[in-house]
Every structure is written in C-alpha cells, then in structure tokens.
Structure 1
C-alpha cells in the first residue's frame, strides 16, 4: 500500500493497519451447512450480543455465529490475517456490536464485498473531528451497509461522519430483558380487593438510615390522599418490630405481614417481610421508591427494571451507580423521577398520588424495561435481510 493521493481517512487507516497483529493463523469453517455470521463484540455491547445471538438463531436455526475472540482468533490490526479469516470462513455478514471499529476486519470485509453491519453503536463527537482516529473511523464507517445507533446524539455524529442518512437508524440501546418477579395470584387478588381503590405506594429495600425519610414521605402522601397506604419493605426483615414502633410513634397505624395482619381501611402502613414477595408489592403499588438510592447503600440496591416491568412508576435518589446504565435508560425516556434528598422524596411521593402522572411514568418505564426485545429485532432485521439476499443470489 502507498498513501499517495489518499485523503486523511485512508492515510489514518493505512497507518493503523501497519500495526502488528497475529499472523499465520489457520481458520477453519464450522461443520455442517448453513450461512455464517462473524460477530465482533465490544465491551459495551455484551448484553446486546447475547440477545442478538439468541434472536438470530431463533429466526435461522441453521445459522452459524462465530464470535471474534471466542470462536475465532482476533486478527487485531493484521490485515493479511483478517483477509485469511474471511477467505477461509466465507461468512455472509460481518456484524459489529458496540463502539469499536476493528480496522483490519472491516477493511478485509470491504475488500471482499462482504456486507458490514454496525449496531448498538455509541459514537463519540470526536469521531467527527479532524484527529487521525476520527478520520480513520469515518473511513471505516463510509461503506457500512447499516449503522444502528443507540441514541439521537450518536445519530447526529454518524451523519457528520459522512454515513448515508438512509443507512443510519436510531434503535435505542438493547436493555437487559428480565422476567417479571412472580407472585401468588390469590394473594394479589385478595389484597387488591382490600385496597378497594386506595392509593398505594411501595418503599422497597429500605435501609435503616432511610426509614425516617420514607415515613415523612408517606405523611406527605396522606396530606394529599388521606386513605393512602404504604407498603414498606425494610432491607433487614428483623427491623419490622422496631420499625412498627417508630411508625406508630409518629401517629401511623401499622400492620405487619409477618404477624399475618391485613391492610384494613384504618391502616396507614403495611410492613412486609423484607425482600420477600417483591413481585406482589410491585403489582399492588403503582409507585415504588427504590431504597438505598438516597444514601448510596449498595446492599439495598434493587434492579430498576423489577418495578418497571410490573407497571410501577419509579422514584429514586441520586446514588444509582450499581445499575447506572439501566437508570440512564429510564431517565432518558422520562421513565423515572429522581430526587436529591428526603424533602424532595416527600414532594415526589405526594405529587405521585395523581393517576395521570403515575400512568405516564409507569408506561414509559414499562416500555424501557421490555424494549430490549424490540431493539434486538431491529438489529437482527438487516442481518437477516443480508442473509436472505445472499440466499437468492
């Protein structure tokens, strides 16, 4: 290769492909018939990879999916090794998941006429700048058959990088798909009948140092709706007796699940058996505060898709590090209400006695928590289209 007459993108790519990589690697195609997809997965796309692979194999049981670094040795920056891989394996599609652009693989695919599909991509605005790295990534992006990005900002970066608008699609991120937590339908039905239209909310996995904030929030809710009911799940189930005393000292009537007491009409707070029966309380309460998020208590942390998948609107504090990606997805979709402190928690819980506000948050949260399946299908669509096109040619 020689850089003469090339633009900065091709020069940057030429420099990248001069880097050392494995050589002399022997690649063998898989046994049996069926088309082959070579899949390269970046660190930021591991969740997506598992779901995409399952969906593709469900649609095409005869498909062979070979992952770089697992089923096939990574050619790194060695173009000759990447070309040897393509020649030996004869794949139908190269699927890139995540934000990495493996230069040798993409170049080898392009040289052989192999379609390249990029998905679950989060693009950096610097990729549209004039650094050598940005120029190289623009060159690699130029001929990709489909560019599926996770967010609107990445979509705009793709346009600025020179991707054809017709090939760029914003899918949203692939969210982890979690099965809804189970519950006894008999228990749910009986308790729902007892509630008889009362507003209920759930304080889930509450550490001791957040108990007072929850009590004050419920008192605020009662001022808005005098029949409001709080389901309170302490992080430590053994706290139930002491917590009942604390609640009663503040003027609230209490029932305890572990004493087989029911939330009758005069009960203000139902203390649950700690972290058990969570699926039941999420179903009964249209609003959930997830504990530990005010005080950064990782022990208390629950996955935010638990209440979201069961139609409960979510309130949380600023400490969301353990499930940062999931919280970011919910916040970006206006699917959760973040509060900074105990005072804001009380305000939010009081405001969320209004059914229309609850419905909007809960609907958005449900869409995010179940959207992984839809996004996965949108990623698989161009792959399956390429496979079908290859079959007819």
Structure 2
C-alpha cells in the first residue's frame, strides 16, 4: 500500500532517528494473542478488567498489555496493579520503525484493541500491514491532533484509516470522523471506557443474618483502616453520636493485627464495642462493631449506605480502590492521600458520588450530614451510574473480539 504523503514523510524521518535500545522480550505464547493498549492509567485498569473477563469466557486466548510513554513513568502503581491481574505490562516509548518491526515480528498479535487518541502512526500502520485486526475505542475529539487547515493532522487521518472499527466517546466525535471521509460503517458512538468493578462476594446466609440483626440501626462503615487512622475515625464517630445517638460504626482494619488497637481506642473514647467474629452480643448499647476480616467487606459494602475508605488520611498513604463499595450501593468518603487511585476518586467526586474529608472534624460533619438516608442515597445512585456507565461498551468490545477470534480460527481451519 502506497503511504499518503504526510505518513510517508513521518516514516522517513522516523528511520533517520537512532533506534533506541530495547530489552529482550518474553517468549510469545502459543495460540491467539489479543493486544490491549492503554493511553492512561484509567484505561489500563479498564483493559485489565476486560482482559480478565475475556480470559474467563474463552480458553486459550493470550493477552499482551502495553502502555504509551505518558503512562509508563508516571503511573507505577497502575502498572503494578495491572501486572498482578493479567501479567506483565510493556511500555511502548518509541515509534521508531525498526523497534516497531521487531516488536510486531516477535508478538504477531491477532487483534489490537487501542484505547484513546494518543496514536503511534508507525506502530498502528505497520501492525495493520502485518494483518493485525485493529479496533480503536474511547477516542474523543480533544485527543486527536489537528492541523491549521483542517480537523486532523496529515498523519492522524491515514492512521485512523487502518482501524477496522472505531468506537468514539460521543456522537459528535463520530460525526466529525465521518465528515473526514472515514467509512461510516466502521464508526459507532459507544461512550467512554472506564474501570468498573467486580463486587466482592457475600453469602446470602451472612447477608440475611446481618440484615435481621442490624436493619433497625443506622450504620456506616470504615473500611481498610490503617493503624494511624483508627484514632481519628473513632473520634469522628464519637462526635457524630452526639447528633445520631443510635448510629453504629462497622470498623474493618486493613491489618487484622490492629484489632486490639481498635478495641483499646474505642474503650479510651468511651465507646462500647463488639467483636463481630468473636460472638459478642450486639445490642442497642453497641456503638462500634469490629470485624477483623477484610474478606467480609462484600457483606459490609452491601449493608452500609455510607463508607469511609481507609488508607487515605495519613500523608504517606496511597489509597484503596473505591469501586467495590460504589458498585454495591454505598456513598463514599475518603481522605486526600489516594495517589494510587486518583483518577477513580476524581471521577466519582465529579459525579457527586464521593466526598473528600481531611480530618476528624470534616469526617464527623460528613457522617452526620450523610446519615440522612436521602443524601446518601443520591450519592450512591450517582456512584452506581458512574461505575456502570461503560458496561455496554465493555460488553460490546468483548463480543466484538470473540466474533473476530472465531472468524480467524475458522479461516485457519479452512486453510489447514
């Protein structure tokens, strides 16, 4: 295929640059290979979710996750989390044709799902030339480079032509792309791709028992408290009790070894506690229910209309994921130190589903205000809508990938 002038010039200039050194790649696994590329930490987390779901549905498919240069050096926590779920994540930091040729010859991906508009022209065009089926999702107008005399740059337009399917964030973006001459049958407006949640499980028997025992009490949850958060959170609960005397706090430490500290701190604050797993009686006088097993959070996220996510108040903290609680209908409070999940909290806060608190006083004030069922319910609904907004796109992408893998397998059998 003859390259358009802008793309040909880009390719020629790329060859003139020195080829960066690269580390040896791991062996390519046998079988079909799905290549997932993320251009942000949020998209990386969403692709890890999608990849896990696809592997659970289809045996024999292999995943290759990559990120661009903007994500690799700035989001180490996101890379670590994704690696732990679906395997190593490779950083593609150069669009040098020699480097790209070696990458594609080694991995030979069957399908590429590229997310976002930070396109690498040599990589995308050479992959398509090699026979990789190309899908672009979650692309928006702001992320596509423009030229002075038109909407897209001379390189980006031909690059987009290499995609077999383009799923945009809005109908307006889709319309723009069609007006530029991209085939309309390839383009659909499907919304943003964002991280959802796989809610932690909870046995029906445990949920029924807890509901019968605690349904009459207003309660809130402090989940995954680290050692330094116990005192300020229990002090906030003590302050909230002055306005809501029947309020019950369910406290779950991040480390079960902090259970004794929880009990002692409750006693020092004049608060009556009960041990959920210890069989302590839970009556109207109980003010704090202590659960030392974070494996029970599936139960407490379902029970609590309001949750404070710990690991976020201490200045050196990094935060815990908010999506599990949100997906199970709980309004969220969190501290300011959530660097490992900053995009997720910002997304929920913008939607009105989460609120940042900074100390005992602001936590107590938020708990008092959100103890009103209508306030917490409005936040919980906003959170659920935010977490599930990309579900249709994720389902569509999985179905699309499944169909294309089926077609490639059928074609391979026909040739054999």
Q: TM-score, structure 2 length as denominator?
A: 0.67
From the CA coordinates, give the structure whose radius of gyration is larger. Answer: 1
RCO higher in 1 or 2 (8 Å CA, sep ≥ 6)? 1
1:94 Cα deviation after fit: 4.4
Q: Deviations over 1:47-105 (max 9, x none)?
A: 444444455567776878777899xxx9953389859969x97x875432455533224
Partner of 2:290: 271
Please state if 1:331 is matched with 2:352: no
Separation (CA, whole Å) in 2 of partners of 1:56 and 1:185: 27
Alignment of 1:117-156 (within 5 A): 117-121=135-139, 125=143, 127-128=145-146, 136-142=155-161, 144-148=163-167
* Equivalent residue, structure 1, for 2:395: 377
Please say if 1:291 is aligned against 2:287: no
Measured after TM superposition, the shift of residue 385 of structure 1 is 6.3
Residue 359 of structure 1: aligned partner: 377
Q: Which runs of 5+ in 1 are unaligned?
A: 23-28
Runs of 5+ consecutive residues of structure 2 not aligned to the other structure: 21-27, 68-87, 412-416
User: Aligned match of 2:221 in 189, 193, 202?
Assistant: 202
How many angstroms apart in 2 are the aligned matches of 1:309 and 1:316? Answer: 16
Residues 124, 338 of structure 1: CA spacing in aligned structure 2 closer, same or farther, 3 A cutoff? same
Equivalences for residues 191-340 of structure 1 within 5 A: 191-206=210-225, 207-209=227-229, 211-217=231-237, 219-220=239-240, 222-223=242-243, 225-235=244-254, 236-248=258-270, 252-257=271-276, 260-273=279-292, 275=294, 277-296=296-315, 298=317, 301-340=319-358
Instruction: Report the alpha carbon displacement of residue 372 of structure 1 after superposing the two structures with TM.
Output: 6.5
Please name the residue that 1:41 is paired with.
Answer: 37
SS at match of 2:252: strand
Q: Give secondary structure in 1 for the equivalent of 2:269.
A: helix
C-alpha displacement at 1:120, in angstroms? 4.7
Q: How many Å separate the matches in 1 of 2:175 and 2:14?
A: 22
Q: CA distance change for structure 1 residues 103 and 244 in 2, over 3 Å: closer, same or farther?
A: same
Question: Shift of the alpha carbon at 1:316?
Answer: 0.9
- Check conservation: 2:11, 2:122, Cα contact below 8 A: no
C-alpha change, 1:192 and 1:155, in structure 2 (3 Å) is: same
Are the counterparts in 1 of residues 228 and 314 from structure 2 also a CA contact under 8 Å? no
User: Which deviates more from structure 2 when the two are superposed, residues 227-236 or residues 91-100?
Assistant: 91-100
Count of residue correspondences: 372
